[in-house]
Amino acid sequence: MNVVDLSDWNDYINWSHMIDEGVEGVIVKISEGRTLSELHGKHIAGASARGLPWGVYCYTHAQTTERAEEEAAVVIDALETLGYGAPPLGIWIDVEAPETIGQDREDVTAICSAFISTCNAAGYSAGIYASLSTLTDYINVNDLADYVPYWCAQYAEKCDFMDYYPDNRLAGWQYTDSYIIDGNTYDMSVWY
C-alpha cells in the first residue's frame, strides 16, 4: 500500500488526484510536541471521506519520559474528544528533533517506550517513525518490546531495517521525500 504523510505544509489536497496517483493511505501529523497541528482534522476528514486508511504522528520534542507521556496524552485526547476513533494505521512518535536524539541512547529509548506505553495503555497501537540511522545510532531497538512497529525512513533502493532487526516488525518504509503529485512534493512510504 502506498502511503503519504501530510502536515500543515500540505494545505490544499486534491484527493482525487492523490488516489489517481496511487495513494492508498495517509499518515497525518496530529501534533508537534504538546501542540495540535492546525490541519490534522481537515486531513483526517479528507482521508476518511474517501475511504482511505489513516494514521497520525506526533513530532516529538520530548527530552524526558514525562514529556513523552504528556505528548502521547495530547494525541489520545484529540482522538477521543474530537471523535476520530482509533487510527487504522496507528499512532507514531516521530523521532528526529535534535533535542530529542541529542540525549543518551538509553534516554531516547525510554522516551519512545513512554510514548508507546501511554498509547497502548489507552487502547491504541503505537510505533516509532525514524530514519534508519536514528534507529541504529540513537535508539536501542533491541531493548524495546518486539511487538513495537517501526516506520523506517531510508531513501534507497530497499529498506535495510530487517537486516539490522530481523526479529522486529517493519510496518512501513518511507522511501522518498520527493514524490510529486500536482506539482507538490510528498513523503511516500510503502506500507506492509
Q: What is the rounded average pLDDT of the residues 43-49?
A: 96
Q: Is the pLDDT score of 11 beyond 90?
A: no
Rounded CA gap, 179 and 181, in Å?
7
Q: Is the pLDDT score of 80 beyond 90?
A: yes
**186 close to 25: Cβ distance less than 8 angstroms:** no
Sign of the Cα torsion 34, 121, 56, 50 reads negative
Rounded CA gap, 134 and 141, in Å?
10
Q: What percent of the chain has pLDDT over 90?
A: 95
Q: What percent of the chain has pLDDT over 70?
A: 100
Per-residue pLDDT, 12: 87
Please work out, in degrees rounded to the nearest 5, the angle formed at the alpha carbon of residue 29 by the alpha carbons of 189 and 96: 75
In CATH, what number is assigned to the domain containing residue 40? 3.20.20.80
Half-sphere exposure of 179 (CA within 13 A, CB side): 19
pLDDT tens sequence across 101-149? 999 999 999 999 999 999 999 999 999 999 999 999 999 999 999 999 9
Question: Structural domain of residue 113, as residue ranges?
Answer: 2-191
Per-residue pLDDT, 161: 98
Rounded CA gap, 151 and 114, in Å?
18
The pTM score is 0.96
69 exposed, middle or buried (CB, 10 Å; 0-12, 13-18, 19+)?
Answer: middle
Q: Which residues pair with 190 in a beta bridge?
A: 2, 173
Q: Are strands 169-181 and 149-153 parallel, antiparallel or unpaired?
A: parallel
Q: What are phi and psi of 115, to 5 degrees?
A: -65, -50
**184 close to 164: Cβ distance less than 8 angstroms:** no
Per-residue pLDDT, 127: 98
Rounded CA gap, 82 and 44, in Å?
11
Q: What is the rounded average pLDDT of the residues 70-85?
A: 95
Sign of the Cα torsion 30, 156, 190, 177 reads positive
Q: What is the rounded average pLDDT of the residues 66-74?
A: 98
Average pLDDT, the chain: 96
Task: State the total domains in the chain.
Answer: 1
Residues in the chain: 192
pLDDT tens sequence across 160-186? 999 999 999 999 999 999 999 989 999
Per-residue pLDDT, 9: 86
Written as nine digits, the cell of 56 is 497520525
Report H helices in 82-182. 98-101, 105-121, 132-137, 161-164
